[in-house]
Structure 1
């Protein structure tokens, strides 16, 4: 991406704002877009090419799309809690252009490649933002972790105490060791709800 004052030879859309959010801070600027990609960040007063479509955003902040890495889309199975149609539209309305869906609360949970395929099939016609997926690590699915990784999940989530849904049970210490060893073999990422179930059980009501 060009960040000089030189206008690219082809500009389909020129977005102008007094508040362009960049790594070094916020300043007036103009963002050139072609083929669905940002091709240059230019001075605010740049003259657009004659065939470019100018869009003046005034003082509305112009920034890269955000990524929400912790979204529970309970679709399929518990869609009234939150489905892909509503989750994606809400994300887009808030400037989030990518969501990463958590592996539990849907039926089935995302603990096998087959379940991941079901999720993707349900999500595809409802997606108005990009969608990625976390896989689930539950008792006795250690053999599914590498296939899920190879199928494209971002990483894995597990619980050490009850998750709140029966189909996504927690790992005990022995199974946590098994999961971590399996993930270490391919440098996988593990998110752990690390609450101690014994302490939770002993806590005052």
Structure 2
């Protein structure tokens, strides 16, 4: 007689667990024993009934183990994909924070240079005013003798002092604002990563 094993038998056979394939082979071997002349049918039927129960149990256990293995492999793949995603997310956030810190350093350097240039400018202007009103020994003598600074010089020095204070306060406020902005951006990036980790953890549990 012709044995019909169905479509795609080779694929189904190779995909079956080894324990299942061995069970099928044992069943076929047991069936082939019927062709032997010295086999008693009653003994074979009794033995076959017990063997079939064992075969069903073996096949069921083998497919249960295969299912558990496939689920574990799928879990590992999901975990690996999640770890890669988190690593990529952290790298992007770290690059973003590095860019922010670099930008803040450049701004701080620029502001420091501005302060130095302002200081040099004010020093030069102060020197210019001083030279303007102390160009002759007579003026120096009068200033020393009277120990009084003229209203014009005092006014110029007051203006320089006020200007220096205003420029310094403005630059200090800019630096404080930049530092506060950087801290806020870093905190925001950290909050986003924590929220992302919690969302991924919740989704993996479901």
TM-score range, shorter chain: under 0.3
Q: TM-score, normalised by structure 1?
A: 0.16
| Structure with more strand by fraction | 1
| Structure with more helix by fraction | 2
Q: TM-score, normalised by structure 2?
A: 0.16
Q: Which has the higher contact order (CA 8 A, sep 6+)?
A: 2
Rg comparison, structure with higher value: 2
